[in-house]
Amino acid sequence: MLKNPGLAASFARLGIAQADVVEASRIGNPGFSGSALRDGGPSKITMGLSLPLSDLLLLSSKRRLAEGDYERAQQLIAAEIVTLCADVNQAWYEAAAAQQVAAMRDAASSAAAASADLARRYYEAGNI
């Protein structure tokens, strides 16, 4: 099943959805700034640290949304697997039926050839 291109693409989408869950669980990188001022007197050094407050506030919501997308991707791939199995099952029965039809036609052809041979022999013997 893993060689099926459609399922391979679905598994790739599942991996992306899983990566989105991990990404949604993380806070953005902090920012660091610094400056030094000299205007003839003592130097003024300023340093700053910033954190994305919106990431902290929205972390649980973003994670829940990403987990929902991941679950949806899991359900979609499960549905695709069930559909693929049903298609393979149907194709197997169609192939088996085609083989039986071919065998039946071969038997009918052999019977017709035998009947024609018998009729030819009756004709040659003068019975027809």
The predicted pLDDT at position 3 comes to 84
Count of structural domains, the chain = 1
Whole-number pLDDT of residue 48: 92
Q: What is the mean pLDDT of each run of 10 residues along the chain (128 residues)?
A: 85 94 90 87 87 88 96 96 95 98 98 96 89
pLDDT in tens, 42-78: 888 899 988 888 888 999 999 999 999 999 999 999 9
Beta bridge partners of 44: 37
Torsion (CA) 22, 15, 68, 20 in degrees, nearest 10: 30
Give me Rg for the CA atoms of the chain.
37
pLDDT at 21: 95
Strand partners, 46: 35
pLDDT of residue 54: 87
Whole domain around residue 33: which residue ranges?
A: 5-125
Backbone angles phi, psi at 28, to 5 degrees: -60, 160
Q: What pLDDT is attached to residue 33? A: 92
